[in-house]
A and B are shown apart, each in its own frame.
Chain A
Amino acid sequence: MQFHVENLTRTFGKTKAVDNLSFSFATGQIFAFVGPNGAGKTTTMRILATLDVPDNGGCRFDDLDILQYPERARRLIGYMPDNLPTHRDLTVHDYLDFFARAYGLRGRKRIEMVDQIEDFTNLKGIREKLLRALSKGMKQRVSLARALIHDPPLLIMDEPAAGLDPRARVELRELLKALAGQGKAVFISSHILTELAEIADGAVIIERGGLLRAGTIEQISRHGRAENEYYQHVAIRTKNRNEELCRTMLEMPSVQQAKQAGAYIEAEVVGDEDQACELLAELLKRGYRVLEFKQVQTDLEQLFMNVTKGDVQ
């Protein structure tokens, strides 16, 4: 299933919160939605979750027009807001049970689903606790459980990692991987880009409501380059001689960029993987004692910093 956003625009008074936004992604993918504070991420996500209506543009899930048929779209979308609107007097179990009922789950199926989700999100131990008594991290778990309760193929998650401790973040990351593995599309916004980079298949980068880049990480990093140009990012660690290596590499025609990053030299090699292998062979030939030579995934954080200016509305 493909999820399409087309020319989405939303204004509040004179402020254009979302400005002609277009992108798409598919089920089974994790797509990061990144932008500076006030870039329009939450507004966009609220529109996609059918909680708000745009002034212009549309969103489709395959053939289903989400804006025209929000009731049908809601079966397919699980939305996790940046903060859990508290039903203070409900227990975790009652809260999930209510949403299971609200999504039309009946009888044994409802009981099993709530049970399964509590298990999946590790909420079994606190199911009888009142929502008002939960910590931020626990509330995030409840919110995730609520978004998953009707088993939607698309998950829209607004800052799910905010306020989570390191362990919970790792667990969330694993959960997201598992969900993508189950064939769900995950559209996730977060400021913790290093974490997103490890799991995201693609990204949508926005600033001041407008789209800067959208596509797979590969597509974004290749932005502005010719179709037949390939780049490999490699990190090399040698025994001493790092500064000299950096200079040497920059003199090589296949190396586009090289810079020292801690104990490593990070380089951008023009060409495919064979070219990277040849570079390694050349370095060894020149007598460098290479301790480590590895391919590096494009850093989402670096991409974000390169693309955005940090403007807010």
Chain B
Amino acid sequence: MSAATGLLRLPSKATGWIDDRMNPIVVKELRQAVKSRFVVTVLLLMLALLMVILTAVLFSQDSRAGVDEDAGANLFLVFQSILLATCTLFVPLYVGVRLAAERNGAASDLIYVTTIRPSSIVWGKLLAGTVITALTFSACAPFMVITYLLRGIDLPTILFVMGLDALIVLAATQLAIFVGAMPIGWVVKTLLGLGLIGFSIMTFVGMVVFVEDELLRIGIGSAMDDSDFWVAMSILVGTWLAAGAMVFFLSVAMIAPATANRALWPRVYFTAVWAASFAGLLWLTFYFETLEPILIWLVLMSILLMCAAVISASERQTLGPRLRRSIPRKPLLRPPAFLFYSGAAGGLVWVQALVVLTLVATYFSRSHFLSENGAGVTSWGADYYDPFPEQWLGRYAASAMWMIGYLLLSAVICRRLPKVKNGTMLTGVVGLILIAVACVTPIVIAFGLDPDQWDRDAEFWLMLNPFGPVLSADRDWLGSYGETAFALSIVFYGLMLIVNLPWYWCQVRGFAPPSAKALQTAPSVSPSSEALQPQEAVDG
């Protein structure tokens, strides 16, 4: 009897166990979603629209005119457009706006005074968005399957397109969470949100065109036998997920307490992605017998590292007691820890190290795949296509040196501004302004000097532009311009390094845990301070 009772109670125990381990944010968001008039209205409107269109199409079919071979494909395209448009706008908007409202500085939601971890909040929001997306997709699924019965489209294509749609919606949702989590004012947040909507619309249009022009024309069923298809899909999905995870870590860092080591996970993750993507591209280079993957990796990493440099430059310049307490006591562990701790100096060193590693890795992998004479033939005889520009190494190095040089100059300026506390936020912004000035000013001067032929010596006006070395044509770079620009970049970067050296030295020296004596005298988790008694404060 008792065994039977125990068995009967098992499902409720299991559900209780699952219920306890569910992310609280997911539970709350979904409870709210099912009671939300907005969600219910959007869902019902979409289903009503699908129903009306389906009914209209079915009734408009003329059986005497024979079977329309593309009726299913055309109807699927319409349904998929409605589903994607609804989800890419509605789900990110619903999740992002709610998070933005919760993160509103003046009226922060009380979630942020609970003990829930920032990663749980971001993960919960994303998961809730995923469940709402799944709910919407499953509501649409019967309509999608009906299109299969109308001919012109196969089931794998339907499932594949819906899978891609789901990825797009999730990416847009993750970006919306990122914008919502940003510690910025409403105006900037709204502008970024509008930008995100623009991005979603562009993605939507691109996806619809892709589905219409490519997938429906060739059909996925036939392409599935080709291994190239799966490789391409793996790259697409892998890149998508890797980028999504990066945005996830950045969102978590923005919600984490300012005193915590917020840079740790984004930097660790980025370094891991850097290494994994390099390994992946080597395999792709071998598989496709072209050096294009290496060049794409170089360009992509250069862009990402420049973004990382701007973010790192904006970080704190002094470590709080909490961070100092967590610095490793072993001297050998301190240098690597320096690179992964929140702080402008450590961040900029980390970026510079990765820039150097990227250039070195690209150089050696390219050399490995090409024969010694550069004829494009490997040791095993396969021809490799080499899309690299002439003197790419110098050009990318010069570009990186300009970029980091401007950020170091910005750091110098910000440290001298009297009202800037700890250099936060402003350094990156000032750095970007300096870069913009360096890009625009020479062109404006050139135009002012000679409005008719200002672009005659275009490369000369690109001399201070960090993008100049990469964007200039091969013939320009190979001339004296290239040499001058490279030399100038070295001088500028070197100068900025020298100017910042005392600051770097100070930061490196300061990167040490509190002394054991200080720890003994201080309270366990607080800076030492004598307790104030009420009467002492009376005269305050």
Contacts and interface: CB of A to CB of B under 8 A. Distances in A.
Interface of A: 2, 4-6, 20-25, 49-51, 53, 55, 58, 60, 62-65, 67-72, 74-75, 77, 79, 81, 85, 87, 89-90, 94, 97-99, 101-104, 106-107, 110, 130, 146, 150, 202, 210-216, 219-220, 223
Interface string B409-436: 0000000000001000000000000000
Nearest to A70: B257
Given A4-B531, A90-B35, A98-B27, A68 B537 contact: no
A55 B376 CA distance: 61
Given A2-B531, A90-B35, A101-B27, A68 B115 contact: no
Contacts of B533: 24
Contacts of A22: 532, 537, 540
Contacts of A110: 20
Given A70-B259, A102-B115, A104-B115, A63 B525 contact: yes
Contact of A74 (B32, B115, B320, B535): B115
A51 B538 contact: no
A50 B25 CA distance: 20
A110 B20 CA distance: 9
10 contacts: A22-B537, A51-B113, A64-B526, A68-B320, A87-B32, A102-B114, A150-B114, A214-B534, A214-B538, A215-B538
Contacts of B535: 215, 219
Contact of B526 (A68, A75, A87, A97): A68
- The listed residue with most B CB atoms (<10 A of its CB), out of A64, A103, A215, is A215
- The listed residue with most A CB atoms (<10 A of its CB), out of B108, B259, B532, B533, is B532
Contacts of B16: 107
A306 to B, nearest CB: 14
A237 to B, nearest CB: 33
Contacts of A25: 534
A81 B36 contact: no
A25 B534 CA distance: 7
Contacts of B20: 106-107, 110
B258 interface: yes
Contacts of A6: 529, 532
A4 B28 contact: no
Nearest to B117: A71
A74 B113 contact: yes
A51 B108 contact: yes
Contacts of B108: 51, 85
B36 A65 contact: no
A273 B112 CA distance: 50
A223 B28 contact: no
A69 B27 CA distance: 27
B257 A90 contact: no
Contacts of A94: 28, 31
B374 to A, nearest CB: 57
A60 B534 contact: no
A106 B18 CA distance: 11
A130 B36 CA distance: 11
Contact of B540 (A64, A107, A150, A214): A214
Contacts of B258: 53
A98 B24 contact: yes
Contacts of B321: 65, 68
A87 B28 contact: yes
A221 B110 CA distance: 36
A77 to B, nearest CB: 7
A4 B35 contact: no
B31 A215 contact: no
Contact of B110 (A69, A146, A202): A146
Interface in B110-160: 110-117
Contacts of B24: 98, 101-102
Contacts of B534: 23-25, 202, 214-216, 219
A23 B259 contact: no
Nearest to A213: B538
B276 interface: no
Contact of B259 (A68, A85, A98, A219): A68
Nearest to A79: B113
B537 A215 contact: yes
Contacts of A102: 24-25, 111, 114-116
A278 B532 CA distance: 38
- The listed residue with most A CB atoms (<10 A of its CB), out of B110, B112, B534, is B534
Contacts of A71: 115, 117, 257
A74 B114 CA distance: 6
A102 B259 CA distance: 21
Contacts of B28: 87, 90, 94, 98
B107 interface: yes
B538 A64 contact: no
A60 to B, nearest CB: 5
A43 to B, nearest CB: 10
B114 A214 contact: no
A130 B35 CA distance: 10
Contact of B537 (A69, A74, A210, A214): A214
B32 A99 contact: no
Interface string B17-30: 00010001101100
> 4 tightest A-B contacts by CB?
A65-B526, A63-B523, A101-B24, A211-B540
Given A22-B540, A216-B534, A79 B110 contact: yes
Contacts of B532: 4-6, 22-24
B524 interface: yes
Nearest to B21: A106
Contacts of A23: 532, 534, 537, 540
A205 to B, nearest CB: 10
Contacts of A107: 16, 20
A12 B532 CA distance: 27
Contacts of A24: 531-534, 537
B109 A99 contact: no
Nearest to A201: B534
Interface string B256-273: 011100000000000000
Interface in B467-509: none
B90 to A, nearest CB: 16
